[in-house]
């Protein structure tokens, strides 16, 4: 396991490979992504962003940086997928969980799938760590809503 952690730590030092945290500003949803910028070029990032609706709005929110836009979009996709699946908490080890989750995300529409055995797939991104939990029962409130009477 220590070898897997060292490999993940060393990858960040490789030129063109960087890590990013995408998190929700309201809840505690957070994913750590690793991006191979030799694969996720501005041209490829534009293809990814343009595939989805509201591409111009996202691009404006990221100050015109199409690579940043694609990274944040992949993070959003990961968080939404993990919420639909009942939450996720993993990484950076065991590495096989991150590999499986990343491959599943990249196989979804708009991400290009796998490419040549790369850990980053066609889009150049993978999830290393996820902390996306569903609300607990004791975090929720119940309130009765009074109906309006029609007099």
**Tens digits of per-residue pLDDT, 8-64?**
444 555 789 999 999 999 888 999 999 999 999 999 999 999 999 999 999 999 999
By the 10 Å C-beta count (0-12 exposed, 13-18 middle, 19+ buried), 30 is classed as: middle
User: What backbone phi and psi angles, to 5 degrees, belong to 38?
Assistant: -70, -25
Predicted confidence (pLDDT) at residue 117 exceeds the cutoff of 50: yes
Closest by CA position to 34, among listed 96, 92, 112: 92
Torsion-angle region of 68 (φ positive above 0: left; ψ -120 to 50: alpha; else: beta):
alpha
What DSSP letter does each residue of 109-137 carry, written as one string?
Answer: TTS----TT-TTTTTTEEEEEEEE-PPPG
Q: What percent of the chain has pLDDT over 70?
A: 89
């Amino acid at each position: 396991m220590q070898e897997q952690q060292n490999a993940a730590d060393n990858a960040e030092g490789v030129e063109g490979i960087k890590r990013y945290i995408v998190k929700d500003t309201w809840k505690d949803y957070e994913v750590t992504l690793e991006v191979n910028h030799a694969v996720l070029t501005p041209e490829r990032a534009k293809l990814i962003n343009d595939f989805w609706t509201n591409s111009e709005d996202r691009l404006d929110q990221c100050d015109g940086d199409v690579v940043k836009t694609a990274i944040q979009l992949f993070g959003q996709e990961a968080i939404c997928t993990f919420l639909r699946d009942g939450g996720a908490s993993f990484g950076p080890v065991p590495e096989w969980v991150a590999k499986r989750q990343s491959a599943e995300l990249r196989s979804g529409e708009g991400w290009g799938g796998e490419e040549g055995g790369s850990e980053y797939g066609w889009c150049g991104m993978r999830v290393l760590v996820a902390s996306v939990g569903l609300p607990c029962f004791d975090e929720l409130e119940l309130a009765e809503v009074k109906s309006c009477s029609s007099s």
